[in-house]
Amino acid sequence: MAAKARAREGQAPISTPPSPPPPWALTRGLSIGRFSWRARIGPHGDPPTNSGARAGAGRDSARHRQVAPGTAGTAERWAAAEAERSADSRWASVSARAAASCATLPRPAMRPRTLAALGLLLLLLLVLPPPGETAKKETPCKRCRELVDKFNQGMVDTAKKNFGGGNTAWEEKTLSKYEFSEVRLLEIMESLCDSSDFDCHRMLEEHEERLEAWWLRLKKEHPDLFEWFCVKTLEVCCLPGTYGPDCLECQGGSQRPCSGNGDCRGDGSRQGDGSCQCHVGYQGAACTDCADGYFSSLRNETHSVCTACDESCKVCSGPTDRDCGQCQEGWVREDGACVDVDECAAETPPCGEQQYCENVSGSFTCGECDSTCVGCTGKGPGQCRECVPGYSKESGQCTDLDECSLAEKVCVRENENCYNTPGSFVCVCPEGFEETDVACVPTQPAADQVTADPTQAPPREDL
């Protein structure tokens, strides 16, 4: 109000000294990324803002500082206002240029985010199962069966616990309490799951109350824990000999699935189709028929037993080669029996020229001749029909011929040496000789080589 009164009277308003600048404005430089610039401190200690806001603030300050025309000092005050406006505009221009320069600079690498991403990826690799392991994951029935098996084993391990011996009456009285006590149940359940078996711990935590109820109230009525827990309560398994969601009987009945000669698909689980996967030698829907190469040695209403035929029979009625209904390939019937065909005795040999034939039951094999043979009847250098050049038969075997030891010389040039090699020989001039077409002649010394005086002693060598 006093300032307005002084303005109406034509006097200049009393200017209030500016407040001290904030601590951050005392900094002479500001770093943005990798671009450094000098910060401009406002005339009233106000921090720099963006160009639009700062320019607007300058205009507002100028308007507040305007005075009515015609009063004393009007020109000076208008000049001060214009100077302030100009300074604010320059500040806005500097701010805009600095912001534009910073926008063009490359962003620094986000190392924390990159490290976090790598850490997450490593965690996923550790947690996720390896390829193919998902397919091997245990079924609910198998997990339940394993839990029950461990529970039954725990009952066996704790059956005679707390027996001290000596006082039978006291032990029987004490056991009658311990046998069905929660203390024993707790001891059994603590040993059911390994520390690293997450699925077991989860299943135990989920069904702990059911197991406790069976132990305290239902054990006598349902003594088979597997049937009560896995089959009737959780309904994840079936009794042996049954399969599928409704626990239907397998082929051949639940007592002897697949007639005891095969495996029922889904047996004991809520899965599968109940079809039979027959053992070797059996076939048919219930695995009661004999496959080729087998004959029925026993068959009645409940059992079917198939026995292997003789190796010469494709179909048979008994165990010998005379019981063949049809011979196997490589066998032929002679005098009422199936006998082996010797393919190696055929008019046209089944093997190559550098091979030998070996007869086996129902077939034949071809082997390579020895390298010293030209044709052979068997394995090794002793089975050669003929020997390759450079070898001769000695004691029935093809052995190397030493051409250098023959009476007739094979190396005919003068001064030439003969060296025997496997299956051949080589002729070589000795050291100090050179080869010509007709002889090995001494090597001539070079023209620049000085001839040593034969009367001069050779130089002494220090050892």
Tokens of 110: 């986000």
Residue 262's SS3 state is strand
Conformation bin of residue 26: beta by default, left when phi > 0, alpha when psi is -120 to 50: alpha
- pLDDT tens digit string along 105-145? 455 444 556 777 777 777 766 655 555 444 456 788 999 99
Residue that the structure tokens 């299956």 belong to: 423
Partners of residue 332 on adjacent β-strands: 339
Write the DSSP string, 392-437: EEETTEEEE--GGGSSS-S--SBT-EEEEETTEEEEEPPTTEEE-S
Q: Which residues of the chain have pLDDT under 50?
A: 1-17, 22-74, 78, 91, 94, 98, 102, 105, 108-110, 132-135, 168, 459-463
What is the pLDDT, as a whole number, of residue 375? 92
Residue at 195: amino acid letter: S
Angle of CA points 123, 127, 128, to nearest 5°:
115
What is the pLDDT, as a whole number, of residue 130? 55
Residue 5's SS3 state is helix
What is the pLDDT, as a whole number, of residue 92? 53
Backbone angles phi, psi at 176, to 5 degrees: -60, -30
Using an 8 Å Cβ cutoff, are 309 and 295 in contact? yes
Tokens of 360: 């086996």
Diameter over CA atoms, the chain: 154
Q: What is the spatial distance between Cα 438 and Cα 273, in angstroms, rounded to a whole number?
A: 92
369: CB partners within 8 A, 6+ apart: 354, 355, 356, 375, 376, 383, 384
What is the pLDDT, as a whole number, of residue 68? 41
What is the pLDDT, as a whole number, of residue 379? 92
Q: Which of 33, 57, 31 has the alpha carbon at shortest distance from 43?
A: 57
Q: What is the spatial distance between Cα 98 and Cα 41, in angstroms, rounded to a whole number?
A: 15
What is the pLDDT, as a whole number, of residue 437? 85
Q: What are the distances in angstroms from CA 456 to CA 168, 448, 451, 459?
A: 120, 20, 11, 9
Tokens of 74: 């009007």
What is the pLDDT, as a whole number, of residue 122? 75
304-308 vs 294-299, strand pairing mode: antiparallel
